[in-house]
A and B are shown apart, each in its own frame.
Chain A
């Protein structure tokens, strides 16, 4: 028995141990399974949170797009929160310059006290965050969702406020509340923090970009010479750059003086109906450009343009209108100069033609006897008139070709010395008749053959030499010198500087490559410093008193000379001293 007992007790013990082990195993398994389930639940929760987070962010991305509107973003967050968190009410408060915008959505009916408690909590939270005393009376609120029922006696059990920070500043607060207590675990909130954090980061970054872009735009508008004014549809001034303030004589220094549209209305007076034009631009969406308007001796062309923003296709939003005051004083001056130029040319063309006509009239009428000396004199006059007119017509044609960029030169291998000597021979006769000496001084270093247009260069020489003759009195001297010049080499040529006191320095030639330089120097009346700068300019003819008035100039020849030299990649220039003499020169690069 005892044996059996012993046996049985032994068996029992082993059975018990086995049972214990089994139990242990079972418990372990159960415990493990429970743990496992917990982990799975946790994981699921985690992934659902992640999914939520993702979906919210995606929605934010799609719906808010590049919206800078904090309210819009908060609406999106609050609108989709129900998928994830259970709440009785959700809302947000956003600070705007004027007031605090509050939007609360009630999911399940509550009483007024519940609603008030949420608002108080929002105000307190915002006060603490912004360091300002925010009262409920500052709220501009919108309440939506379930109706308020005073019979519902439930209090706020759980509540959570999440601040929304944009560019380091508190922009608002997001609030959720529930009648039940103990809700809103910290980890749920972490996700909400994350979402709001990401949203605010996106907005902050976008605002930064906008700020930089706005800064660029502002700087551009500020630095513009044209006056720029922008108003919103209510005619409030959005942008007014310094130029526009100057135009209407707005005094910045006066403190507390805010620029308004009335400053423009008053200042422009009867000259420009700014209010009417703005009204038209905003209502009809049509731009308007004025004719010239004079304000304080300055001429403007005033443009009024509607400003329309299209955030979406076929959806236009009128943002106001822009007024641009474009200063056209310079254009008008130029126009005047051109008119004067045209009238001068017409005059200069008419005079010789009219002379010819009148001479012929006399001849036809028989007032001058044929074969008399007088007859020859009049024929000679007609000849001179026709030559000077032909010269001028050629100049005008050349000038128009130059201006149209169609002035062509035909470069060929030619000998500059021959061209110069040819011109000296040509002008020698008239120089002798005026008792002027006309000489040349050609340097040894000039290559025999240079590539240039000999006809065009002749034209420059004709102009320079005939001018020199016009402005040099009897007994004076004219010298045509030519030499090659290297920008580095010293500049020593054989010129009688005692006679020709005004001769260019090396720097006057402005050469970059080895070049041929041709200088026509005279001992004439010279040109004043004032007039020097206007030479070679199309519409600025220098009025000078010739030594005699046999031939008058329009000054066009110099403009054409400049065009020819430039077509050879060269330069023209002049040095002159009043009463002593002048040197006109041109350069042609050798390569």
Chain B
């Protein structure tokens, strides 16, 4: 069972995504803003974070920055999913350590689910290589 933390103020997105992912493989955790996201990151130690950018309190970019600066926060692959589509925003976010960028409205739930599978698979391979 893999834990996925969805940090997004759009509760509908988390709900629809949860439905689209096989319930037996993934457990979905939801945080409605970056601050709650940081807390859940520490307490739940998810395998993947799906991060929105435009959020109240601590937005996605600030969340990534915190993660970059921090030494004790767990390193978790982050897939950014937002409805912001400016090229600059995407390259900014990628340079801050995100593993992928999904423009929500351009993708179906199915393709987002595939992205999630791929990212988690890659992280697993990396981990198993490291442990060897």
Contacts and interface: CB of A to CB of B under 8 A. Distances in A.
Interface string B77-105: 00000111110000000000000000011
Contact of A361 (B15, B83, B109): B109
Nearest to B53: A347
A346 B105 CA distance: 11
B69 to A, nearest CB: 23
Contact of B86 (A343, A362, A552): A343
B54 A347 contact: yes
Given A549-B11, A549-B56, A351 B83 contact: yes
Contacts of A359: 12, 16
A358 B21 CA distance: 13
Contact of A354 (B15, B57, B83): B83
Chain A interface size, under 10 / 10 to 19 / 20 to 34 / 35 or more: 20 to 34
Interface in A531-565: 543, 545-546, 549, 552
Interface string A375-409: 00010010001000000000000000000000000
Contacts of A355: 10, 12-13, 16
B9 interface: yes
A350 interface: yes
A343 B85 CA distance: 8
Given A347-B54, A347-B83, A545-B56, A358 B32 contact: no
A546 B57 CA distance: 10
A172 B71 CA distance: 87
A368 B83 CA distance: 25
Nearest to A367: B19
Contacts of A343: 84, 86
Nearest to B8: A351
A350 B108 CA distance: 13
Contact of B16 (A358, A543, A545): A358
Nearest to B84: A347
Interface in B42-92: 54, 56-57, 82-86
Contact of A362 (B9, B20, B57, B85): B20
Contacts of B16: 355, 358-359, 361-362, 378
Contacts of A354: 13, 83, 104-105
Nearest to A360: B16
A358 B83 contact: no
A357 B20 CA distance: 13
B110 interface: yes
A263 B10 CA distance: 57
A546 B105 contact: no
A353 interface: yes
Contacts of B82: 347
Nearest to A355: B12
B13 A358 contact: yes
Given A543-B56, A546-B56, A351 B109 contact: no
A353 B104 CA distance: 10
Nearest to B59: A543
Contacts of B109: 358, 361-362
Contacts of B108: 358, 361
Contacts of A549: 9, 11, 32, 56
Contacts of B17: 358
8 contacts: A351-B105, A353-B105, A354-B83, A355-B13, A361-B108, A361-B109, A367-B20, A549-B56
Interface of A: 343-344, 346-347, 350-351, 353-355, 357-359, 361-362, 365, 367-368, 378, 381, 385, 543, 545-546, 549, 552
